[in-house]
């Protein structure tokens, strides 16, 4: 049993391709990409015009000089500490020796304690000069000046960094939007291509299905025709064999007997024979051409011509038959008579052939039925 072929079904998610809608969608995406690309290029141009990030030479110079000043200030601080220590030691020594000095005023070139105090103050001032050196003040002023410049440069760089970072953030944002649009573009193309592939695969399968159905229909028609032909052949085979041959023998016999006549036949007999000849071959007619008798298809022999035909046949022993009549003799394998005098022997042969056909009829009929059933 042949398995039924299931027709292809278009999946629910697959639609008939709409090129206009697809092109319009691509145009919208490309327009968005073009707009974002212009904004992205403008941001890139602004970034390219920013000062170079590596231009920190002045700041480095200031940092170096500030470090040098700090080192010098540290050295000054150490020297000051030594002076302060000397002053402290001197003060202690003076306090210890004041009492002694008063006892030995005669030995000291000073006449009073005031003179001693003046001398001590002079020595103190001399030491203090070493502490209040103007070089330290210059370094301090220079340090403050450089520090202010350094802070200004650092502030400017911070502002530039903020501007640069904002531009970088905007560039990143636009880059993300561009990536999204390009992803939409690729997705739209991929989905369109996939949908087309699935749809036209369905169309191709449907076409093949219809083609197969048409082939099956033709095969079924051929089978039906063969079965009908076999049925008809079986019906024909069931018919008795040699029916046509037997009928043909009778018709040819009647036809040939119409050429035989005798002088003692009555008009009634002649009329009866004419009627028999007339009905001998349905669809055939006896015609007269140049005083000779011809047998052809379609028509009936006229009764009032019978006597004249018999009379004419006596004048000549020759028997001329049309090709169609001769072929009937060939069909039943009987020699065609060419003379009227040969008619009796031909009638005998027709009788023998008829008997043969009747005898062989059952056997041949059964053989035909078996052959048709195979």
* CATH code assigned at 33: 1.10.287
Region of poorest pLDDT, from 187-201, 252-266, 356-370 = 252-266
pLDDT bracket for residue 111 (50, 70, 90):
low
Q: What is the pLDDT of residue 39?
A: 93
Most confidently predicted of 47-56, 139-148, 177-186: 177-186
In this predicted model, which residue has the larger pLDDT, 174 or 230?
174
Q: What is the pLDDT of residue 102?
A: 60
Q: Same domain for 252 and 135?
A: no
pLDDT bracket for residue 314 (50, 70, 90):
low
Q: What is the pLDDT of residue 352?
A: 96
**Cβ neighbours for 136, distance < 8 A, ≥ 6 positions apart:** 73, 76
336, 326 Cβ separation under 8 angstroms: yes
Q: What is the pLDDT of residue 106?
A: 53
Q: What is the pLDDT of residue 290?
A: 38
Q: What is the pLDDT of residue 274?
A: 37
Q: What is the pLDDT of residue 283?
A: 43
- The rounded percent of the chain whose pLDDT value lies above 70 is 68
Residue 119 lies in a domain: yes
Q: Same domain for 295 and 185?
A: no
pLDDT bracket for residue 173 (50, 70, 90):
very high
Q: What is the pLDDT of residue 295?
A: 41
Q: What is the pLDDT of residue 263?
A: 32
DSSP-assigned letter for residue 120: H
In this predicted model, which residue has the larger pLDDT, 97 or 47?
47
Residue 194 lies in a domain: yes
Q: Same domain for 283 and 137?
A: no
Number of domains in the chain: 2
Residue 13 lies in a domain: no
Within the chain, residue ranges assigned H as helices are 19-48, 57-103, 113-131, 134-238, 243-257, 267-278, 306-315, 323-331, 343-373
The mean pLDDT of the chain is 77
Distance CA 352, CA 223 (A): 43
pLDDT bracket for residue 301 (50, 70, 90):
very low
pLDDT bracket for residue 307 (50, 70, 90):
very low
Q: What is the pLDDT of residue 310?
A: 47
- pLDDT, mean of residues 171-183: 94
If 0-12 CB within 10 Å is exposed, 13-18 middle and 19+ buried, where does residue 231 land? exposed
Q: What is the pLDDT of residue 133?
A: 59
Among 212, 203, 197, which residue's Cα sits nearest to residue 10? 203
Q: Phi-psi region for residue 290, left (φ > 0), alpha (ψ -120 to 50) or beta?
A: left
**Cβ neighbours for 294, distance < 8 A, ≥ 6 positions apart:** 286, 287, 288, 320, 321, 322
- pLDDT, mean of residues 1-20: 77
Q: Same domain for 177 and 80?
A: yes
* Three-class DSSP labels, 123-163: HHHHHHHHHCCHHHHHHHHHHHHHHHHHHHHHHHHHHHHHH
Question: Residue 129: what are its φ and ψ, rounded to 5°?
Answer: -60, -35
Among 260, 320, 326, which residue's Cα sits nearest to residue 289? 320
- pLDDT, mean of residues 178-186: 94
Radius of gyration of the chain from its Cα atoms, rounded to whole angstroms: 73
Last residue of a domain, which of 143, 168, 200? 200
Q: What is the pLDDT of residue 33?
A: 94
Residue 228 lies in a domain: no
Q: Same domain for 310 and 196?
A: no
Residue 234 lies in a domain: no
Q: What is the pLDDT of residues 247-296, one digit of tens each?
A: 999 999 999 999 886 433 434 334 434 333 334 444 443 333 333 333 43
**Cβ neighbours for 316, distance < 8 A, ≥ 6 positions apart:** 291, 292
H or E element at residue 293 = strand 292-297
Q: Same domain for 274 and 133?
A: no
Question: Residue 186: what are its φ and ψ, rounded to 5°?
Answer: -65, -40
Q: Same domain for 84 and 185?
A: yes
Strands 284-289 and 292-297, by their bridges, are antiparallel
Q: Same domain for 67 and 189?
A: yes
- pLDDT, mean of residues 114-131: 66
Region of poorest pLDDT, from 73-77, 334-338, 352-356 = 73-77
Q: What is the pLDDT of residues 196-237, one digit of tens each?
A: 998 989 899 889 999 999 999 999 999 999 888 888 888 887
Q: Which domain holds residue 307?
A: 243-373
Q: Same domain for 70 and 172?
A: yes
């Amino acid at each position: 049993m042949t398995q039924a072929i299931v027709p292809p079904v278009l999946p629910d998610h697959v639609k008939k391709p709409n090129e206009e809608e697809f092109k319009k969608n691509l145009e919208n995406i490309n327009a968005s990409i073009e707009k974002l690309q212009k904004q992205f290029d403008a941001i890139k141009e602004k970034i390219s015009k920013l000062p170079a990030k590596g231009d920190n030479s002045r700041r480095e110079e200031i940092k170096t000089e500030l470090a040098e000043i700090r080192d010098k200030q540290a050295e000054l601080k150490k020297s000051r500490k030594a002076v302060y220590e000397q002053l402290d030691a001197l003060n202690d020594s003076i306090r210890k020796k004041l009492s002694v000095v008063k006892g030995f005023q005669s030995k000291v070139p000073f006449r009073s304690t005031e003179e001693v105090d003046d001398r001590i103050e002079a020595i103190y001032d001399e030491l203090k000069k070493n502490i209040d050196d103007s070089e330290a003040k210059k370094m301090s002023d220079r340090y403050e000046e450089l520090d202010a410049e350094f802070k200004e440069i650092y502030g400017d760089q911070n502002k530039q960094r903020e501007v640069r970072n904002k531009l970088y953030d905007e560039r990143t944002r636009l880059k993300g939007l561009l990536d999204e649009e390009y992803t939409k573009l690729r997705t739209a193309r991929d989905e369109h291509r996939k949908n087309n592939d699935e749809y036209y695969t369905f169309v191709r399968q449907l076409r093949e299905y219809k083609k197969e159905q048409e082939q099956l229909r033709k095969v079924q028609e051929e089978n039906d025709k063969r079965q009908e032909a076999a049925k008809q052949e079986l019906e024909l085979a069931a018919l008795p064999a040699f029916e046509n041959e037997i009928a043909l023998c009778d018709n040819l016999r009647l036809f040939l007997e119409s050429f035989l006549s005798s002088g003692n036949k009555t008009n009634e007999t002649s009329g009866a024979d004419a009627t028999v000849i007339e009905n001998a071959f349905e669809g055939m007619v006896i015609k007269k051409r140049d005083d000779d008798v011809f047998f052809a298809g379609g028509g009936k022999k006229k009764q009032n011509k019978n006597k004249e035909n018999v009379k004419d046949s006596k004048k000549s022993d020759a028997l001329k038959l049309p090709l169609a009549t001769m072929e009937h003799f060939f069909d039943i394998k009987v020699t065609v008579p060419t003379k009227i005098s040969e008619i009796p022997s031909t009638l005998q042969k027709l009788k023998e052939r008829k008997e043969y056909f009747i005898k062989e009829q059952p056997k041949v009929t059964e053989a035909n039925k078996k052959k048709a059933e195979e």
